[in-house]
Structure 1
């Protein structure tokens, strides 16, 4: 493993920043303290900053030489609205908030790279350090773009990275094409006619209609979607009734849909609406159908994914750079990849053995109350960011 010596030396200091951020988690668009910490460190290292894009976003600007070329590196800052089970010293100090996805670590890796880039400036051009708010459902990437991210800071490409538990530290994964799915939500309210539960013939029971609808939706996946295409429909909430002897007037279903392409998503939304409306009509009921498209699929551009792979291989060897298995999880870096070429990669976070005494009893998986980012990744992830930026700005423009 070819780590930059300066990043190994400064890793403990960056880890201390990471743990401070972990202890003070902030939710979507509330990352004021986190942004203050980032801005303070960048300023201390002589890096000009711009604040306010996407409300709480921070952009650091590291320039050297005369080239007008530029590349963007992105990290997310926000935490999740969940209670932490860990009790070690840097556990969350705020009930109901936790860095359970490692965004504190993503921020730390980019800060480590920022410190090195500012001190050494072994490149000709500009590196934009993008610290993004509100990845966890708020669409912070979209908000930064709408606020002029790519107009104010023109860059040729943009790159992102996420820690990935369950794989041995020292490994990366990157591939071209879809690597994370679109995220979409639906809400269906079936309206029937309430009655006494002992006299169901006097009403229109929405509950068995809902049960049929849940089953019918799976035929979209098995019979309407091509078998080679990926798609998920999950009904995750059903709410109906208030008493055991009353047939309710209505029943509400909610859930999520995930796909890798807009074409499959279009088909799924259309068929879900048709089935809901026609099934309800067949039972003399009515329905209200809502479908909200949140994040688009995260699709790596081929040239940039191949470039990122070359950089990874130069650091950890080809045998430690894996094919990136697509996941049905979603990521709002997708918005940046819609606007610019780039690649989103995974960096292995280990199995959880790195956690200190006082960690929760659960596994060290993403969105788990016993999760903690692995600080051993800081010099590795920062080395990747530095080498990626240097190599991008050194190569001939395509």
Structure 2
């Protein structure tokens, strides 16, 4: 069999150029039509069978020369609604859209993996299905749409990865259980009684009520959750009023809840309701709470994390696997893991070339991580297909 590392090195420059193309031409969730077109063009040139799915997604497949399991490998393809300021010659040309999360790198890694597996397919056991998923950054989830389109039909296991700046370059971050949290959303609308700022006694102040609620919400994790459990409550926006001397009628609070278990999730949302109800009743205001619990936590299956670790140990590139603590960011890869066994892992990019955090306008990856991702992903898929 052709050496996997040699294949990865052979196709590395091609994968980097693809990554830069996607970085120059990012598209927002649900709008990835040109991205889809480019993916299809490249797959056609490689002679890999594919079809479009989930509006702007693509599903492709390679069959090995010998019987084995069917393994899915997934990448996300959408960009963020952000103005790119990376300062490189591949900076985004699409105003207000930017691959500031690394999905351009994810696509490059999957394409590199496809080329490796395509080179050696005659010697491989099993079948490999490649999922180019739209709409990871926004609700509703593109993962659910791909699954509905048959992405997991006949699949024995699935793997996926995220380029991750907090993890150093050359490190593959793994977890045998909890990896990424459920990223829930809430909105609290408070209705009071507006009036003149000089006569607050005639009003029911929704801004004051909102401030008290926000302070109360920030006690939930510290006073209601066991310190050994994981949970986050953060308020990201508050909107109220338009003039300095008018007490408005309404105020709106929006925030996020992060958790790994249904128990903690329910506890937090129950406390949000109780705190809001009590403060509004005390102030004479009314309220409504809207919640979006759109995607569950990413919880790996241990045996498949071990397969990732075994694949890293086989790699000839200078990388190592390291078990890492869970992070409170969310990922809709969780939907796949609810349907079939598998694992999600982090590909470290942290280096002098990659210092800005994800979702920052100057975020950029160290492109060497693409080489590491290609080799690990190909080796892991091969191990799982013949296991």
Equivalent-residue separation in structure 2 for 1:317 and 1:230 (angstroms): 35
Match of residue 388, structure 1, among 357, 380, 385: 380
Equivalent-residue separation in structure 1 for 2:318 and 2:87 (angstroms): 38
**Structural mapping, 1:50-89, within 5 Å:** 50-52=51-53, 54-67=54-67, 69-89=69-89
2:199 aligned residue: 199
Matched pairs, number: 383
TM-fit CA distance, 1:105: 0.7
TM-fit CA distance, 1:129: 1.1
TM-fit CA distance, 1:287: 0.7
TM-fit CA distance, 1:260: 1.1
Q: CA RMSD in A?
A: 1.8
Task: Provide TM-score, normalisation by structure 1.
Answer: 0.92
Three-state SS of the structure 2 residue aligned to 1:42 is: helix
* Structure 1 residues 206 and 220: alpha-carbon distance in aligned structure 2, compared to 1, 3 A threshold: same
TM-fit CA distance, 1:277: 1.7
Match of residue 142, structure 1, among 134, 137, 144: 144
Deviations 1:44-101 (A, max 9, x none): 212111212x211111110023525211111111111100113322111111111111
Equivalent-residue separation in structure 1 for 2:380 and 2:16 (angstroms): 21
TM-fit CA distance, 1:316: 6.2
Q: Verify the 8 A CA contact 1:170 1:320 in the aligned structure 2.
A: yes
TM-fit CA distance, 1:3: 6.2
TM-fit CA distance, 1:266: 1.1
1:231 aligned residue: 231
Runs of 5+ in structure 2 lacking a partner? none
Runs of 5+ in structure 1 lacking a partner? 355-362
Equivalent-residue separation in structure 2 for 1:126 and 1:96 (angstroms): 39
* Structure 1 residues 126 and 319: alpha-carbon distance in aligned structure 2, compared to 1, 3 A threshold: closer
Match of residue 369, structure 2, among 365, 372, 377: 377
**Richer in strand (by share):** 2
* Structure 1 residues 327 and 251: alpha-carbon distance in aligned structure 2, compared to 1, 3 A threshold: same
Equivalent-residue separation in structure 1 for 2:318 and 2:111 (angstroms): 26
1:173 maps to 2:187: no
TM-fit CA distance, 1:21: 1.1
Equivalent-residue separation in structure 2 for 1:179 and 1:187 (angstroms): 26
Q: Verify the 8 A CA contact 1:3 1:380 in the aligned structure 2.
A: no
Equivalent-residue separation in structure 1 for 2:283 and 2:381 (angstroms): 61
Equivalent-residue separation in structure 1 for 2:217 and 2:188 (angstroms): 12
Task: Provide TM-score, normalisation by structure 2.
Answer: 0.94
Equivalent-residue separation in structure 1 for 2:124 and 2:4 (angstroms): 18
Three-state SS of the structure 1 residue aligned to 2:281 is: helix
Q: Verify the 8 A CA contact 1:3 1:379 in the aligned structure 2.
A: no
1:216 aligned residue: 216
**Structural mapping, 1:257-296, within 5 Å:** 257-296=257-296
Three-state SS of the structure 1 residue aligned to 2:167 is: coil
1:311 maps to 2:311: yes
**Structural mapping, 1:309-348, within 5 Å:** 309-315=309-315, 320-348=320-348
Equivalent-residue separation in structure 2 for 1:74 and 1:381 (angstroms): 13
Deviates more, 1:62-71 or 1:310-319: 310-319
Equivalent-residue separation in structure 2 for 1:219 and 1:367 (angstroms): 27
* Structure 1 residues 3 and 117: alpha-carbon distance in aligned structure 2, compared to 1, 3 A threshold: closer
1:357 aligned residue: none
Equivalent-residue separation in structure 1 for 2:333 and 2:262 (angstroms): 17
Deviations 1:210-265 (A, max 9, x none): 11111111222122222211111111111112222222212111111111111111
